[in-house]
Amino acid sequence: MTDKLLPCPFCGGDPEQDYQRSFRWLKDGRLDHGAAIYCTFCNADMIMCRGDHPELSDEERMAIMVENWNRRADHARQTTGSAGGPTYLDFITPDEIFEKGPDAVKKWQAAKLVELLGPSAA
């Protein structure tokens, strides 16, 4: 199951969910798992550990994580007009397009967005 996630608040990359992210507790070395959301491009990452919230199901933990991720992503979009800082699109735009100037960059990135997200991104 995949909830609707906004793009990464740091780079605009695609996020993924993991309901059973494994981790090891620092204090006693025990293995546990939690609900995690992470960016597939810049590795921005958030996790809610099962041990910290044993009263919640995996689905409830993930619902809280989705809400937190989307609130941060939405805040970033509202305050900066984009994801803030260089975006995923900036990283994948070829150097020769940047050399042609800002208009060429805007045109190339708009076309790439449509290619990645479909016509509704235009």
Q: With CB under 5 A as the rule, give the number of residues binding Zn ion.
A: 8
- Could you give the CA distance from residue 56 to residue 67 in angstroms, rounded to a whole number? 15
| Contact between residue 8 and residue 41 where contact means Cβ atoms under 8 Å apart | yes
Q: Using CB under 5 A, which of the segments 12-20, 46-54, 98-106, 112-120 binds Zn ion? A: 12-20
Nearest distance, CB of residue 14 and Zn ion, angstroms: 8
36 lies in the site for Zn ion, by CB under 5 A:
no
Closest to 67 measured CA to CA, from 11, 13, 3: 3
36, 37, 39, 62: which one binds Zn ion (CB under 5 A): 39
